[in-house]
């Protein structure tokens, strides 16, 4: 049976952030993830996790000025020092929260940039981060993201992520496979996840179109959950979707035994 983690950046937005941990536990989640922890005190976050018996499944490396539209800096030649400082800061938070996976959002390619140079910078940065995280027992993930939601996002297909992993030559670099993003960019979800299961450390979900909860769109999640059980996926599935009509009211899919149980 899949293990679902509540993405507290998107779910339970009806509540202040620190109250979302209790709400996630009450709704039946045992793990949580969110985009960034850096605006909060490490001890306060850790206390929320401990109080409610929750696992911190994932958070991202610092990704530049998010409010200004940046979606990562790992590809930018003039931001290497900032990226490396961000890796060190992320490790501090991950250790405090006992978080075993960190995701790297690579960034939006500048219009006038040479893709080959961006790829070279990215590979060097990922090599640095993968090595630093491995020393702490933390996995580094990279996530392909669709270019409809984020035009110009540099990493946008599974094959590209796998090629990067080959170039970096680290056994501590994995794919974060977001079903929603990859449905938009390439489809063939079940076969792709099965073929590359060894390199997929984390999965996220949302339905398409709309990025709402499973059952609101075109993706056959009942089939995919059975498929993931059948192929032996044992990681977490992050619920990174926009509730269509309130978080709790939209959790019926998770309670539907015909959708989430194998058989």
Residues acting as catalytic residues:
143, 240
Domain 3-260 has CATH 3.90.1200.10: no
Confidence of residue 257 (pLDDT cuts 50, 70, 90): low
Average pLDDT of the residues of the chain: 96
User: Is the pLDDT confidence value at 11 over 70?
Assistant: yes
- What confidence tens digit (pLDDT) does each residue in 29-88 have? 999 999 999 999 999 999 999 999 999 999 999 999 999 999 999 999 999 999 999 999
The packing angle between helices 115-134 and 158-168, to 10°, is 60
Q: What is the pTM of this model?
A: 0.96
Give the H or E element holding residue 32: strand 31-33
Note the pLDDT of residue 263: 46
Whether the predicted pLDDT of 262 surpasses 60 = no
The percentage of residues in the chain with a pLDDT greater than 70, rounded to a whole number, is 98
Specify the pLDDT at position 175. 98
């Amino acid at each position: 049976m899949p293990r679902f983690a509540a993405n507290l950046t998107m779910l339970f937005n009806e509540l202040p952030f620190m109250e979302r941990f209790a709400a996630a536990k009450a709704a039946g989640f045992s793990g949580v993830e969110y985009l960034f922890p850096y605006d909060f005190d490490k001890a306060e976050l850790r206390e929320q996790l401990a109080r409610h018996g929750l696992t911190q499944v994932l958070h991202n490396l610092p990704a530049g000025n998010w409010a200004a539209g940046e979606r990562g800096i790992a590809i930018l030649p003039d931001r290497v020092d900032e990226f490396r400082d961000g890796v060190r800061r992320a490790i501090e938070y991950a250790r405090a929260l006992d978080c075993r996976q960190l995701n790297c959002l690579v960034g939006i390619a500048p219009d006038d940039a040479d893709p080959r140079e961006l790829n070279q910078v990215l590979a060097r940065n990922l090599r640095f981060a993968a090595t630093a995280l491995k020393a702490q027992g933390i996995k580094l993930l990279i996530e392909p993201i669709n270019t409809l939601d984020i035009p110009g996002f540099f990493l946008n297909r599974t094959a590209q992520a796998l090629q990067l992993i080959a170039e970096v030559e680290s056994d501590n670099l994995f794919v974060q496979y977001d079903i929603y993003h990859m449905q938009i960019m390439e489809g063939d979800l079940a076969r792709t996840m099965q073929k590359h299961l060894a390199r997929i450390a984390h999965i996220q979900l949302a339905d398409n179109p709309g990025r709402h909860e499973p059952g609101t769109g075109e993706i056959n999640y009942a089939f995919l959950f059975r498929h993931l059980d059948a192929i032996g996926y044992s990681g977490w599935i992050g619920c990174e979707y926009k509730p269509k009509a309130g978080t709790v009211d939209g959790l019926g899919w998770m309670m539907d035994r015909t959708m989430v149980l194998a058989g």
